[in-house]
Structure formats: C-alpha cells, structure tokens
Amino acid sequence: MHPPASGLTSARSAAAPAQSCTMRRRTAQEISFSGMAPDIMPYEPATASHDLRQPDGLSQLVRRASPTYNGPMRCALRFLRLAPPLACLLAWPLWLHGGAMPAEPPPTTAPAAASIELLRSSVHYLAGDELEGRGIGTRGLDLAADYLAERFEKMKLTPPQGGYFQNFQTSRVSGIGDRTALKLNGRPLKRGEQYTPVTLSAEKAFEGDVVFAGYGVSAPEHQYDDYAGLDVKGKVVLVLRYEPHKGNRSRFSRDDWSDHAGLYTKARVAAERGAVALLLVNPPEHHGQDMLMPVSPRMGATAKIPFVQIKRTVAEEMLKAAGQPDLSALQKGIDADAKPASAALKGVKVDGVVELKRTTADLKNVVAILPGRGDRAGEYIVVGAHYDHLGRGGLGSLSGTKEIHNGADDNASGTAALVELARVLSARGPLERSVLFVAFSGEEAGLLGSAHFVANPPVPLEKIVAMLNMDMVGRLRDDTLYIGGGGTAAEFEPMLQQLDDASPLQFRSIGRGGFGPSDHMSFAMKKIPVLFFFTGMHPDYHRPSDDADKINFQGVAQIVDLAADVVRQWAAMPRPAYVNVGGTMRVGMGQPARGGAALGIVPDYGQEEAQGVRVSDVVGGSAAEQAGLRGGDILTHFGDQPLANLMDLTEALGAARPGQKVKLLVKRGDKTIELEATLGKRPGQ
C-alpha cells in the first residue's frame, strides 16, 4: 500500500468526519490517520536508510499512521496497506527448489471453498527469494506476472483483448549520472564515499560560499528560525538532518517529528531564501551511523535546487576551516536552548553538479475474465490486488538494508487471495454478471497499474458496477477484518451487516468513503462503488521480515470465502449507484492531530512532472467542492504561493489553519480562474 498526500487525499481532507458502520452489534472503529512525512510524495515511500526513528521518510508515516490494535500485538503501522499474504506457512513446497509452479487442482463442479494449501503455495512462490521481492524492473516481477497468467489460463478464464497482460510504461530515477560531482575548495570529493545526491534533487550545476544553517528550519510558530538574520542568497547552505530535540523528542511536535524535519521542506525553505544548493549531514547526537542515503527509483516532485548529502567528515572539515565548533557541539547547543547557531563559513566554498539517470520501466497488469450469463453478462465486477512489492528495498523500505523484501503480506497475500477467489468462483460456473480479476502492478510507486487500468479499461468503464480490492489480508488477528468503502453504495452496508452476522470474522469499518491508499481509489475516483479488505499493519511492514511463515492462511481462506459471497451478491443485485460520501478510509494510531488544514482534493497520481497540481477528484462536502474545484483543474497558486508540484501544496496546507480563507488560482482548460476556499479541519483535529 502507498501513503496518501498529506492533507490532500480524503484521508486527511474530508470536510465531514467519516461515519461509523455498526456491524453484528459491534461499534465499528474509525481509525484515524494523522500525518505523513512532508518530503514524501503521496504515493512515495522514504529512502532505504530510514528506520523507525527517522522523520524524513516513510518511517515518519509509520509512527504517525499506525493503528493500535486491542489484540496481542501493538503494530507499527503506516498508512492503509491492506493485504496479508495468504498461502505460505505450512509446508515449503518442493517446486520452490526446482523452479516449477504448484499444480492446479483437478476441475470440479461441486461448490468450492478456499483451499489453505493452494493459498500457501501461491504465497510461498510469490514471496520466495527467487522472485527478488517483485520490485519494478526486476525479473522477479515478470516471473510473478507469468505465474498469474498461467494460473488464470489453467482455470480457462478469458483473456481480454487477446492476452492476459495489459502493458504500460513508467519513467523513474534509476541512478546517478556520470556528470555528478562535488568539490570542496577546488578539491574533488569521492562520490558514494563522501557525498551522494538526494533523490529529490534538482539537476543542475551550482557553486557558492557555504553557510551553516543549523537544522535548516524556519518555524515562526515555535519562535525558532535557523535563517533569522542569515544571508543565504547565492550561497550553498549546510544543514543538519531532522530538527531540534529535547531529550528524545522533537521540540516542535507531540509526535516524534514535525513537518519541519522533512527533506523536501528543508529544500523548499532554503530555495525560498535564495540558496543555490543544499548540503545535508547526519547529526552525530541522534543518528549514530553516518550512512549516505541511496538514490532509489522515484517518480515524484523534485526540489528546486541541487540537494546533496555529505558525510560528517566533510562537514567537520568545513567547520574546522572556518574556525567553528564541531558538529556535536553545535548540535548540543541548538538542542539544549532551542537557539540557532547559524553562521557563514568563511573561506569555505563548494561547487558541483547533480545529474540523475532516468529509465523507462515496462510494467503489466494481469487481467482475466470469468464470463457471466444472461442479460447482465455485459456488466462487470472487478476484483483486484496488487502483486508488486519493493524488490531489495530502496524507497519504501523501513529497514535501511538491501535485503530482499519478499512482501508476503504486502501483497502476496492479496494476490494469492485473488487467484484463489478466481478458482472458487469459476468452479461454481458463471454468475449473472461477468467478473474481471486484475492483478495490478506499480501500486507501490503510486497506484500506477490501477490508474492505467481505469484510463485504458479492457471493457467499457461504464459497464463496471463495483470493485473489491484486497491489500494486505494475511495477518488476521482476533478474527478482525477491516473494511473500507461501505458507504460508496447504499446497498453495501446492509449487505455487510447480513454477511457479518453469518461470518466467523468480525468486521470493522475503516471509513465509509472510497478514497484510501490502495488501488480501489482509482475506481472510486471514477465513481465506481468499492470495498476494501485489509487485516491491519504490523512491524514487518515494508521490511525484509515480511515473510510467508507469518501469514495466517486460515484467515486468508476465510477472507476469500467472504469475498466470494460479496461477489455473488453483487452479481445478483440490481446495479448499485455510486455515493460520494465525505468520509474516507483512515488507519492510524489515533495520535493528536498535528495542525494544518484540509482542502479536500484527490491529486492525479499519474500526473507528469509539470507546474501545478492536477486535481483528479474532490471529496464530497469538502472545502474544495464548496469552492468550485473540479476534476481536471490544475492548481497553480495557493494564496500568494506558487505551486510547482504536489509537495508545495502539502507544505502550504500544513502551514494553514482551519477556517482560513484562501485564494486559489486554477487553470481550467485554456482559462485561468480564481476561486476562494474556506479550509476545513483534518480528521482528528
């Protein structure tokens, strides 16, 4: 699952609170989402060096968005990653060692139930080391696609448009260009040993005198500003990572970190003050190891200036040459008194250039159809799950290692559930409506596969009546299944109530709306009713330890049986109408809100890098809807602040307050119009 845009998606921008859905006489739990790292794109995880104590990447989201469970585990949780791997625990199949795929069971006309053994086989294969973590651009991702297509073919499911693959491409940062260089007072530094570009860096040459600006934080609301009285125009700014501390906590946040700690925030603040480049160094007092962050695949906004991380030894050399205290002394002084220690580093000059390599990755969704019967056979139910994961880490990993991230729960579990559901339904013969089974690729990079699917549907989009998404369904605990989207059609909550009464599972609502950080959102944005199945977050999320031996296969089988019941009811009921409810799927620890305001837009995650923020949809009842924003609009200004990209809007919303009136400059077709929005509250405020 991927994180949402801070303050932008419905998870943080719904104007009206999501309503609870009570099932089986239990009060459904609304789990709140409180925040996301400011330097991360809505679909983007943080760099591989991040761990649970780091604020400037996805780890911040884990701390802030983790729900608290009442069961035996209190899980560190990020945003809404929802599908546990489902078939991997009991026996290690022999075919893993020989490379052969698990055999398909003999056909049967008897009513079918989900098979734990088949689920186990699928998860063990998909989450095995041979598939290299199913990362974008890896052989393992292609092997997974081949496996899924072969399974669908053995079930005699129909390939749409002549084949099971729906191919598409995406561009991403793939490495450091040969021209990248950095010199300190004319002496070349060693790339990869003494410095490395930060992935979100602008690509250009730079030179200038060096200025030390503490943590690079400007926080007037906390009476703290590292840039106060400091002239950085035309200069290269050196800053510490993170933000001022008191004890083991941020001085600026009730959570571990505030938005001021974000990498993108630091780059934006420096650029706004005229800096020509930004140098980042790990602070010695609360970051023991001095590791350089790897440049990893990235598809998002970039900073406006070159951004380079340097080793402490390089920073210490600069400080010593300028007659300044060492890093440890400077950091201790700032942390102790919350007083900046900024200064120009006389006699220290750097020059350099940043160049990043970009490659095009070939991706494919795997699609199969179970044809329906009768008058409704031309209408379709979509059941989906993403099959990609993180490969060997990089962006999105919370481990900081290059080990294989097998992604058994995320989302081999949901993918195995999808395949098993196809077997269960096809064994019983055709339903009244056709069923489209879709294994999406590129979800971890920003819902790329599902966005491509709804933009290029193999069947007419208006013929799709509903969508069920399974993401992270492999860690069922206390028999609790989290369900989102129950309010997107009037028929869904009564149906879920009926199923809940008869199910061994306990249903809990994570929001009635259809917007959330997984592939169902692409369908909700097209006004297609959705449901989302998820068993919850856990400490193995986006780590190499998310392995098949931790999957609750019996729980996955129960979820598959429930999914089969849902699809059968959808196939038989009158076509449900989409309801645009204000509430959204929210999963988090329930921490206090961190401030800021909500606008209520759903950004276009497939937007190419360009000036402004393209709006894909607006949340019902939100400030955006009331202001007159619509899908297809491009936001170019928020008040007086120009918006270069989505992160600029995220930053602006973080600094705003509920009830504030803001002028919005919007490009709509060939015209530019001005709107006024009265900002709303973020959920939990």
pLDDT along the chain (685 residues), means of 10: 43 32 35 30 31 36 32 30 29 29 40 88 98 94 98 97 92 87 98 93 96 95 94 97 82 70 89 97 80 68 89 97 96 92 97 92 96 97 97 74 92 98 95 98 88 95 98 95 95 96 92 86 93 90 93 98 98 95 46 60 61 79 91 90 77 83 93 94 58
CB 422 within 8 A of CB 152: yes
Tokens 């899980």, residue located? 75
CB 290 within 8 A of CB 309: no
User: How is domain 181-354 classified at the CATH fold level?
Assistant: Glucose Oxidase; domain 1 (3.50.30)
CB 623 within 8 A of CB 680: yes
CATH 3.50.30.30 domain residues, the chain: 181-354
Side by side, which strands form the sheet with 205-212?
Answer: 187-188, 181-184, 343-353, 205-212, 236-240, 277-281, 307-310, 195-197
CATH 2.30.42.10 domain residues, the chain: 601-678
Q: Count CA atoms closer than 13 A to 326's CA, side-chain side.
A: 7
What would the two tokens of residue 230 be? Answer: 């400091």
What would the two tokens of residue 435 be? Answer: 């069923």
pLDDT for position 264: 84
Alpha helices in 322-398 (DSSP H): 327-337
User: Running DSSP on this structure, what letter comes out for residue 622?
Assistant: S
What would the two tokens of residue 555 be? Answer: 């729980």
CB 161 within 8 A of CB 458: yes
What angle, 0 to 180 degrees and rounded to 10, lies between the N-to-C axes of helices 139-154 and 414-427?
A: 10
Superfamily (CATH H level) for 601-678: PDZ domain (2.30.42.10)
pLDDT for position 289: 73
CB 633 within 8 A of CB 615: yes
pLDDT for position 666: 95
pLDDT for position 594: 41
pLDDT for position 614: 85
Contacts of 20 (CB under 8 A, 6+ apart): 27, 28, 29, 30, 509
User: Running DSSP on this structure, what letter comes out for residue 589?
Assistant: -
Rounded to 10 degrees, the C-alpha dihedral 664/665/668/670 comes to: 170
User: How is domain 10-29+61-68+76-101+109-171+360-572 classified at the CATH fold level?
Assistant: Aminopeptidase (3.40.630)
Nearest to 684, CA basis, from 29, 32, 16, 11:
32
User: How many whole angstroms separate alpha carbon 218 and alpha carbon 211?
Assistant: 15
User: How many whole angstroms separate alpha carbon 200 and alpha carbon 198?
Assistant: 6
Alpha helices in 233-311 (DSSP H): 263-272
pLDDT for position 465: 99
Tokens 């951004």, residue located? 307
By the 10 Å C-beta count (0-12 exposed, 13-18 middle, 19+ buried), 655 is classed as middle
Question: pTM for the full model?
Answer: 0.61
pLDDT for position 87: 29
